[in-house]
Amino acid sequence: MARLVLVGSRPVASPNPATTEPRRIATVLLFVAAFLAGLACVTSNTPADDPQNVVAPTAAGDHLVVGFNPGVSGTDRIRAISAASGREMSSLKRLAISRVAARRGDSLEALRRRLETRPEVRYVEPDYEVTADAVPSDPLLLSQWGLSNPADHDIDAFEAWDTKTKCSKVAVLDTGVDLNHPDLVSNLYKNSKEKPDNGKDDDDNGYIDDYIGVNVRTNRGDGVDTDGHGTHVAGIVAGVADNGIGVSGVCWKGSVMSVKFMNALGKGSSSYAAEGIEYAVHKGVKIINASFGSTSKSSAMEDAIEYAKEKGVLIVVAAGNDGKNIDKSPVYPASYTYGNILTVAASTLDDGLASFSNYGEKAVDVAAPGENITSTYIDDIYKPLSGTSMAAPMVAGMAGLLRAKNSDATYSDLKTAIRRKVDKPPAFKDKVVYDGRANLKSAIDYIATL
């Protein structure tokens, strides 16, 4: 049986595994302190109950909006506008409102003053810019650079959220999930056909009490994460958004199925991985995240991947953290070339390829943010981690959002959208199939046209 290891749970500030525990704790605390500072900043500037504060009140600069008193006819409105030396560009059909431009050489401010003196006019105002309220209230959002950052080295999540914030089911095949984490609990998949804690396999699928996820190592629903890796991955996919705490997943709302097949040390096996895939596919999941790898090729895994393919399931895979070309020295499942495998490298805040990230212009499909990624962690905390393990769930969440946008999209449609509708900073040239870093906004615009 091939041994699989998770591919990315390096604490950001201590990438050297030999780092002593106290230093690790100290650096984590440092990060926590940094986040609390961020929280204070966000809370004071952008109260959750006042989304307007998020958006700077800019306005269209070439015209004014003029509201007229009730009963003023269309002809009288145009006459009033002309009398003030303005020009009506257009008007609303049922409300007494016109868009009014200034004549050449005139200023909007001067026009505004003249319009305000007219008896027909009720108000004059700028045409304020309005954006959809798609900025969630989660205080750690400022540290989630992969979703949005000022340099735009991100997946354009904010722009995509104007279209969709809810995802279809995603299975996280990992070390389990902290089933009580306040920033995850409402987004965890529940198996409604299974009665919890009665010691019976109510839905007759071979797993006892698999009500919230499963542990395929024990055939029971005790998928509690004692490692932290799976909890971190789950939060990247679907940390509960806009709830005023912690982080936001790529999916604001979603259904993350925890399929535990690795132990507390982040180790599993190919047969358990295969069983995990089988479990999720059988439960109707169409997107699976696989943040693990092995240098051994496994037929059991290949069978499971084929089975998933027959059922139309996309498996999003971490490329691995050896910093090597996996076209030349393959790792699995990342290097498999099945049509339903989407392999993800890790990008950095500078839009480079992370130094640890594997790559390969055949085997690796796309890059996504995977360095210093803040997410949920066991014991109800948050933590930044680096790895292709973090990049993969960013993309699995994207796939979940795309599939919610277009439920007819096949795995092949999803794969096309994600790996072709990319940004192409130079760092990814010849490193991944289409030289790009994922962009959720471009992908969702594409999937909507299918």
Please indicate whether residue 174 is annotated as part of the active site: yes
Residue choice 163, 243, 263, 416 for contact with Ca ion (CB under 5 A): 243
Rounded alpha-carbon distances, angstroms, from residue 9 to 177, 252, 292: 14, 23, 10
138 part of the interface to Ca ion, by CB under 5 A = yes
Task: Establish whether 389 is a catalytic residue.
Answer: yes
229 catalytic? Reply is yes
| Identified catalytic residue from 154, 229, 258, 375 | 229
**Residue 443 and residue 116: Cα distance in Å, rounded?**
46
User: Given candidates 120, 174, 178, 194, which one binds Ca ion under the rule CB under 5 A?
Assistant: 194
Among 31, 68, 207, 279, interactor with Ca ion by CB under 5 A: 207
| The 267-269 sheet, strands edge to edge | 267-269, 3-6, 292-293
Provide the minimum distance between the beta carbon of 367 and Ca ion in the complex, in angstroms, as a whole number. Answer: 15
* Contact between residue 267 and residue 5 where contact means Cβ atoms under 8 Å apart: yes
Q: Is 120 in the site for Ca ion (CB under 5 A)?
A: no
DSSP for residue 380 = T
**Smallest separation (angstroms) from Ca ion to the CB of 362:** 29
Residues 156-175: x where in contact with Ca ion by CB under 5 A, - otherwise, as a string: x-------------------
DSSP state of 324: S
Nearer to Ca ion, 260 or 309 (CB): 260
Stretch that binds Ca ion, among 16-24, 150-158, 319-327, 345-353 (CB under 5 A): 150-158
Stretch that binds Ca ion, among 18-26, 179-187, 326-334, 339-347 (CB under 5 A): 179-187
Residue nearest to Ca ion (CB): 138
* Angle of CA points 380, 220, 267, to nearest 5°: 65
The backbone region for 206, taken as left when phi is positive above 0, alpha when psi lies in -120 to 50, beta otherwise, is left
Distance CA 207, CA 215 (A): 8
| Binding footprint of Ca ion, residue count (CB under 5 A) | 20
Among 120, 210, 225, 365, binds Ca ion (CB under 5 A): 210
Binder among 76, 202, 361, 445 for Ca ion (CB under 5 A): 202
The one catalytic residue among 154, 174, 210, 225? 174
Taking CB under 5 A as the rule, does residue 228 contact Ca ion?
no
Indicate whether 91 belongs to the interface with Ca ion (CB under 5 A). Answer: no
Q: Where are the alpha helices (DSSP H) in 227-383?
A: 229-238, 270-282, 299-310
Stretch that binds Ca ion, among 73-81, 199-207, 258-266, 283-291 (CB under 5 A): 199-207
Say if strands 256-260 and 170-174 run parallel, antiparallel, or are unpaired.
parallel
Strand-pair category, 341-347 with 121-128: unpaired
What's the min distance (Å) between Cβ of 221 and Ca ion? 7
CA 138 vs CA 109, 375, 401: distances in Å: 39, 12, 19
User: What six digits make up the tokens of 196?
Assistant: 């919890």
User: Taking contact as CB under 5 A, which single stretch among the options 181-189, 276-284, 351-359, 365-373 is the one that binds Ca ion?
Assistant: 181-189
Assign 21 to helix, strand or coil: helix
Least distance in Å: CB of 283 to Ca ion? 10
85 is an interface residue for Ca ion by CB under 5 A: no
Closer Cβ to Ca ion, 6 or 216, answer by number: 216
Radius of gyration of the chain (CA): 26
Closest by CA position to 233, among listed 432, 391, 124 = 391
**Alpha-carbon gap, residue 198 to 211, rounded angstroms:** 11
The piece of 45-53, 83-91, 131-139, 352-360 that touches Ca ion (CB under 5 A) is 131-139
- 209 counts as binding Ca ion under rule CB under 5 A: yes
How far is the C-alpha of 233 from the C-alpha of 393, rounded, in Å?
6
Residues in contact with 411: Cβ distance below 8 Å, sequence separation at least 6, in sequence order: 286, 309, 312, 313, 314, 339, 340
> Does 246 engage in binding with Ca ion (CB under 5 A)?
yes
Instruction: Name the site residues for Ca ion (rule: CB under 5 A).
Output: 138, 148, 152, 154, 156, 183, 194-195, 198, 200-203, 205, 207, 209-210, 240, 243, 246
- Active site residue ranges: 174, 229, 389
